[in-house]
Amino acid sequence: MSEPKPVIAVLGGTGDLGSGLVYRWAKAGYPIIIGSRKEQGAIDATNAMLERVPDGNIRGMENAAAAGEAEIVAMTVPFAHQQSTLDHIKEAVQGKIFIDVTVALVPPKVGRVQLPAEGSAGVIAQQTLGENVQVVSAFQNIAAAHLDSDHEVHCDVLVTGDKKDARQLVIDLAADAGLKAWHAGPIANSAATEALTSVLITLNKQYKIPGAGIKITGEPGV
């Protein structure tokens, strides 16, 4: 008999990227809590997702409540709302793995790399939440349209975080979502993955690519 899958809260799960992660993880059999700043928005998003995944175990709650109920928490909010959301859910995520999908994009010039003084949004998350939370940065370089679909995704995921076991858990979650993910080092390295997002946005615009991504070449040694 297989062990039950952990409950995942996706804060900002009403947005395009969050919705894509919810869709893929719900299809893979994970119990999901969609989090939003307003509970009704999360409930509405849950009802819409259940139409797409009728047998899904999906609930909708306000962000802090969702984070408190989950075993693993993922956050997919704009950079402008990252700090306020972190402050709001800080106590609810203590002792947990926290997946930060935030990218330090500064509109309107989102195609220009503009990293914060701290180094990256991932570093901000780790500093804000403290050492009792294992922050992992991932999924920034996958277009929301790819996640929120049933087609095979030909883009890889770079996973950064200071704890290897936490990175491995996220790599396994990526695999269950149909994605190939790689250990990419400590949370400080999230500066590179976040910066790469602006490069990909520029490529999308310049070459009219519907969701450019990256692919790691070569085969791991034994």
Spatial contact of 187 and 123, defined as CB atoms under 8 Å apart: yes
pLDDT of residue 128 exceeding 90: yes
Confidence of residue 2 (pLDDT cuts 50, 70, 90): confident
Q: What is the mean pLDDT of residues 76-80?
A: 97
Question: What would the CATH number be for the domain defined by 8-207?
Answer: 3.40.50.720
Q: Is the pTM of this model over 0.95?
A: yes
Distance CA(159)–CA(187), nearest Å, equals 9
Domain locations in the chain?
8-207
What per-residue confidence (pLDDT) applies to 59? Answer: 98
Compute the distance between CA of residue 73 and CA of residue 100 in angstroms, rounded to an integer: 9
pLDDT score at 1: 60
Confidence grade of residue 3 (pLDDT, cut at 50, 70, 90): confident
- Taking the C-alpha atoms of residue 123 and residue 14, their distance in angstroms, rounded to an integer, is 24
Question: Cα separation of 210 and 34, whole Å?
Answer: 26
pLDDT of residue 222: 67
Dump pLDDT digits (tens) for 16-70.
999 999 999 999 999 999 999 999 999 999 999 999 999 999 999 999 999 999 9
